[in-house]
Amino acid sequence: MVFKAHPYRVVSLSFGLSKRLVEARKAFITSASLSLAGVVIEGLALTGFSSIILITDFFHWTLDTIVEFMMLFSIYYASRVGKKFPWSILIIEFSTSLIVMIVLLAFYGWVMLDYVNNLVATYEVSTTDPWISLITVAGGFITFTAFLIQRRNFKKYGLEILRIDYTHALMDTLSSFFATVGIVATALTRSHSLEIFFTIILLVFIIHSVLELFKDSFKVLSGSNVDAELTSRITLSLEKELFGVRLKTGGGEKDRILLHS
């Protein structure tokens, strides 16, 4: 968002919001880094194990990491006080994320098909080592750490995007719990039904991540994420702070507010 003073002089206005956005950006850097660490850990584990439960959890991690970085980019651009919000760049980034997500889902579909074919041919489960669960336990620890960090930041800065992120991190912790239980139960019982059951549970979390990314991408690409009511409230709030300075949105541009004395 650009704040412009008449006649067309850019001014920097910050009534606490910009500082909170900057601090939230730092929080998302931590959260995204933790998510990326989880992807790396499970990716390395998959070089030695081929459990379909672990593979499904890995794809969930990967999709969530994409979402984390998109949220980081969004809040980074929003925190740049006095600069125009780069919708074109954000649209390109979200479009690229959609393409990557589609490729990942296609690859996972191929992996799942291979798993089903192998199950039919050999009638053996892919999860045979209960110690693989240590990987998902580590993942659960990472997501719970992200949950604690973002919940603390939400209480401190009060930004809705932080609440959304810590809620998502809590769901990811639950996903890691199901993955852990599924791996241990399948490895000990060699039950095909349990392996398929827990894989389906993890697929539900994947579907949730996919829908969230699709929803956010659609909002950015269509421009429907511009909240007219929120813009109005910000304008009124700034007018009260500036005492006698009248604000109006500039000529249909959604990212500018003009100041008139």
Q: Residue 70's pLDDT is what?
A: 82
Q: Which long-range contacts (CB under 8 A, 24 or more apart) does 60-63 make?
A: 60/172, 60/175, 60/202, 60/205, 60/206, 60/209, 61/35, 61/139, 62/104, 63/101, 63/104, 63/206, 63/209, 63/210, 63/213
In tens digits, the chain (261 residues) has pLDDT values of: 333 433 433 333 344 667 777 888 888 999 999 999 999 999 999 998 889 999 999 999 998 898 888 888 877 777 665 556 566 666 666 777 777 778 888 888 888 888 888 887 788 899 999 999 999 999 999 999 999 999 999 888 888 888 888 998 999 999 999 999 999 999 999 999 999 999 999 999 988 888 877 776 666 556 555 545 445 555 555 555 555 555 455 444 444 444 444
Residue 132 neighbours by CB under 8 Å, 6+ apart: 45, 49, 51, 54, 183, 187
Peptide bond into 86 cis (omega under 30): no
235 belongs to a structural domain: no
User: What domain range is 107 assigned to?
Assistant: 18-224
Straight-line distance from the first to the last Cα atom of the chain, in angstroms, rounded to the nearest whole number: 20
User: To which H or E segment does residue 199 belong?
Assistant: helix 192-222
Q: Residue 4's pLDDT is what?
A: 40
Question: For residue 147, what is the DSSP state?
Answer: H
Q: Residue 84's pLDDT is what?
A: 60
24 belongs to a structural domain: yes
Q: How many domains does the chain have?
A: 1
151 belongs to a structural domain: yes
234 belongs to a structural domain: no
5 belongs to a structural domain: no
167 belongs to a structural domain: yes
- For β-strands 256-260 and 9-10, DSSP reports them as unpaired
